[in-house]
Amino acid sequence: MSVESIRGFCLSFPHATEKLQWGEVLCFKVGGKIFALLSLSSVPPRLMFKCEPEKFAELVEQEDIIPAPYLGRYQWVALERLDVLPWSDTTDLITESYEMVAAKAGIARTSRARTNRTRPTRRRSKPPRARK
C-alpha cells in the first residue's frame, strides 16, 4: 500500500477533493468536510480516518493503531504505518468514513443501481385525471 494508491482510492469517491493543509497533511474532503488525512511529513506516512465508536475501540487495541492526535475524541484513528491492516480492510474503513462524513455534509452517495439503469423507466399510458 502506498501514498499514491490511498490517494487514488480516496479521490475515486463522488465529490471527493484533496487539499494540502497544515504543512504536509493531505486532506481528503467531501462537501468541505474531511473524511481522511494522510500525513506526508511523518516517516512512514500516517493515515487517519473516522470510525464508528465500536470499530474505534476495536482498532485502537491493535499495535500501530492509535487515536488520531486532536481527533481521537471524535472516533478518528491513526494508522502509524500504511501496512498495519490489509488493503481490503483499509479501503472498507475509508469507505465507511467517507459515507459517515458525506451523510453529515448532506451529500447522498448515488448507487450504481440508480445511475446505471438497465431498463427504461415506465411511463404512464394515460395522463393523470384533472381534479374538479
CATH of the domain at 86: 3.90.1150.30
Res 117: pLDDT: 32
Q: Which residues contact 108 (CB under 8 A, 6 or more apart)?
A: 102
Instruction: Decide which of 95 and 26 is more confident.
Output: 95
Residue 31 has pLDDT above 60, yes or no: yes
The answer to whether residue 75 is domain-embedded is yes
The answer to whether residue 54 is domain-embedded is yes
- pTM of this prediction exceeds 0.85: no
The answer to whether residue 118 is domain-embedded is no
- Per the structure, how many domains does the chain have? 1
Residue 23 has pLDDT above 60, yes or no: yes
Res 132: pLDDT: 59
The answer to whether residue 129 is domain-embedded is no
The answer to whether residue 44 is domain-embedded is yes
The span from the CA of 58 to the CA of 72, in Å, is: 13
3 state SS of 93: helix
Amino acid letter, residue 131: R
Range(s) of the domain holding residue 62: 3-111
The answer to whether residue 19 is domain-embedded is yes
The answer to whether residue 69 is domain-embedded is yes
Query: Do the beta carbons of residue 10 and residue 95 sit within 8 Å?
Result: no
pLDDT tens per residue, range 88-121: 898 899 999 988 888 877 776 543 333 333 333 4
Residue 30 has pLDDT above 50, yes or no: yes
Instruction: Decide which of 44 and 121 is more confident.
Output: 44
The answer to whether residue 119 is domain-embedded is no
Matching residue, cell 470499530: 55
